Chain A
Amino acid sequence: MPHAGLIIKICRAYTDSQEDFEDFYQEACLQIWKSRDAFKDKSKWSTWIYRITLNVCLTLNKKNKRRGTNVEILHEESEKNTAFKDENLNLLYDAIKKLSETDRAVILLHLEENPHKEIAAIIGTSPNNIAVRINRIKKQLKIILDGKIN
């Protein structure tokens, strides 16, 4: 699967267990594969993948919540995040998971070096709003991570 790394990065931000991560990842791959014919050259392939993966993550999260998944337990599990070898990255992911679902999407797109215009198009807002939002999110992350990062 091309851009598998991107899908993994997004799915990791929206899941708290390896089992959920694998489910989300594979459902995203399936949806990308199913909707490959609907892809038009108007956007980048990576943007298209991002959109689908994000939709899958939000939909599955909603389903999980409806099933009564305990949010507190998820946060507890997320504190033991060992998904990545890099300890700083694990901490960063834990911090990202504490953000709202939309803020998570914005910061992931920003970290993947997408221009504000593109992030705005995906999220459905203006580039100015994105710039303000990114600053706010970074401040939030800094507070969460303060003193934890080596």
Chain B
Amino acid sequence: MEKSIEKIWTEAFINEQALIAPKINGLYNQKSKSVINKIRRTYEIDNKGLLPMAGIVLIGGILLSEPIIGVYGTFLILCLYYFNSKLLSQFDSIDVGSDNLTYLKDYKSIINSIMKATKKLFMFAIPLAVLSIFTLAYTVKEKSFFSNFISSDTTIFEVLGIGLIVAIIVSFIGIIVYKISTKILYGTLISKLDTIIKEMEELKN
């Protein structure tokens, strides 16, 4: 070896173009890509979890001699699956050509809108679904599991009254479960997303 390492080092770096710094956004591209993929995947898995539930409700309905209610319950769950899929498809509407920060902010606002929509679902749609199941159980009046609780002199108002109480309880428990499960499943990911947005905004200013 003729040249000293010091000489190689000094000479080589005089005109070295490789010392041009990479863009700072690259890190955020990778970090945000990873967080976004995880959030999207978790949402999709979460939603697909409704499909086996729909199957269980259908089988349960048949086993409890409530095929109509079973089918109706399955239909409601499939509606929920469709509704969630529609909400998730909002992610595809984000302009991938936009800059990283705008993309992340759009992503976050979609997550917020999904959360708001799901809360509304628990507050209004789920109680309505419960009430409709009670109404259906009263209307069907066949010899089945529910018929044990509905005597011949039970009025529709009594059934709806109990249905309303059950609906409120289901709605209340649903919102609490939703809040807890969101915190467990998405809490860390969403806070990571918030941190990236915050850091990028600070870097931008």
Contact = CB atoms under 8 A, between A and B. Distances in A.
A33 B199 CA distance: 11
Contact of A26 (B16, B17, B22): B22
Contacts of A25: 21-22
B27 A147 contact: no
A21 B20 CA distance: 13
Contact of B13 (A5, A7, A30, A148): A5
Main secondary structure of the interface of A (DSSP, over half): helix
Contact of B24 (A29, A85, A107): A29
B12 interface: yes
B8 interface: yes
A88 interface: yes
A88 to B, nearest CB: 5
B5 A5 contact: no
Contacts of B8: 88-89, 92, 149
Interface footprint category on B? 20 to 34
A138 interface: yes
Contact of B199 (A30, A84, A138, A146): A30
B184 interface: no
Nearest to A84: B18
Interface string A56-98: 0000000000000000000000000001111011001000000
Contacts of B9: 89, 92, 111
A132 interface: no
B198 to A, nearest CB: 12
A136 interface: no
Contacts of A111: 5-6, 9
Interface of B: 1-3, 5-6, 8-9, 11-13, 16-19, 21-22, 24, 26-27, 30, 199, 203
Given A26-B26, A89-B13, 10 more contacts: A9-B13, A9-B19, A25-B21, A30-B24, A84-B12, A92-B5, A92-B9, A111-B9, A141-B5, A145-B1
